[in-house]
Structure 1
């Protein structure tokens, strides 16, 4: 025990310096807050739908909601019901079992509504493609306003996709 304490005193405190804030992320956050205030009057409600993904994209969406990216601090909240949502974040290739549920979720979301497809699977079917168990990309089932590619996309790319969707307004555009 004495040797361990002696080593601790000899070594001292060894920690890494904290990372510096990313300036581009701060600019993105400020622009996103402005757009949300202009378009939605202060808050954006998002319903996240997993249509059959591997959960890689969900992990990145949860990372966007952590203290570093501070989604709620920007006026964006994740809601449990599509009836309260302004935007749907949909991940994964749409499995045949989720096809009806995704359509019902889309129909339950009040107008005007936005849809953001997250990840390669949501954008083009990814490695799963279209087959007997998969409808393929999200646009095969519901209209998509913005597609965010990546396997999985980074939290900044997800934020950029949300910003692009609300910047385009409420009229559906080509992906």
Structure 2
């Protein structure tokens, strides 16, 4: 049989200094409320709703800014510079934005790179509506920004921002890859400033789609139908009553007196 009085079975004893330190520690917990608050602040994360939302904003924004997936399509010469930006020389993948998607339902960034013709605009708006929220748009080049050298042309839209919301404008004809990279960095800074409090895609309800323009004799923006009907109604009422808009009346020619001496 083993000896119970051996060194392994001795009653443990506390160091008097340690015991005194713990006694003073417990006494401060019982009598000092400031000491309790200090210990809780050090060991427990005490926060408010605003600070909690701020922390969530940081996580969400970091995830979105670091994984921007562009939609793979181009319109004109600016698309050549966009393709060069995605190549290895400029390495857009270091910003998390080089994973080009072939489907709008898997993309969250539309780069409108080139001249926006009236024939192509309905397809652009349709692709934009198919992209899930959050979604962003970069207008690349002078044509996508305001029409460029083809502004006011019979077949060109003077800026894509008249139909879909644009987050970043990249000027140039065409812009260099460095300019597009700067536009992506600007978009990342914009994402960092967003909050889940005031963003539409964090709220309940369906996202409102933009009406796709109708390509007829000219491009018809469906959002302006009430305005168009309001302008055509008085003209139709002055006609023969057939309900069709007649030609506009010619302005009256006023006689101008000749002030020259005979």
TM (norm. structure 2) is 0.47
Q: Distance in 2 between matches of 1:87 and 1:127?
A: 26
* Cα root mean square deviation, aligned: 2.2
Per-residue displacement from partner, 1:110-145 (whole Å, max 9, x unpaired)?
A: 111110000111111100113321122111221111
Q: Distance in 2 between matches of 1:159 and 1:93?
A: 20
TM (norm. structure 1) is 0.69
Q: Give the structure with higher Rg (CA).
A: 2
Kept in 1, the 8 Å contact 2:79–2:114? The answer is no
Q: Distance in 1 between matches of 2:158 and 2:65?
A: 35
Greater relative CO, 1 or 2 (CA 8 Å, sep 6+): 1
- Residue 152 of structure 2 is aligned to residue 130 of structure 1: yes
Structure with the largest fraction of strand? 1
**Residue 154 of structure 1: how far off its partner (Å):** 1.0
Q: Distance in 2 between matches of 1:131 and 1:42?
A: 39
Kept in 2, the 8 Å contact 1:93–1:129? The answer is no
Alignment match, 2:142: 120
**Residue 73 of structure 1: how far off its partner (Å):** 4.2
Structure 2 unmatched ranges of 5 or more? 1-59, 200-262
Q: Distance in 2 between matches of 1:141 and 1:48?
A: 20
**Residue 83 of structure 1: how far off its partner (Å):** 0.7
Matches within 5 A, 1:1-175: 38-40=62-64, 42-51=66-75, 53=76, 55=77, 57-76=78-97, 77-169=99-191
Tell me: CA distance 1:142–1:41, structure 2 relative to 1, closer, same or farther (3 Å): closer
Count residues in correspondence. Answer: 134
Structure 1 unmatched ranges of 5 or more? 1-35
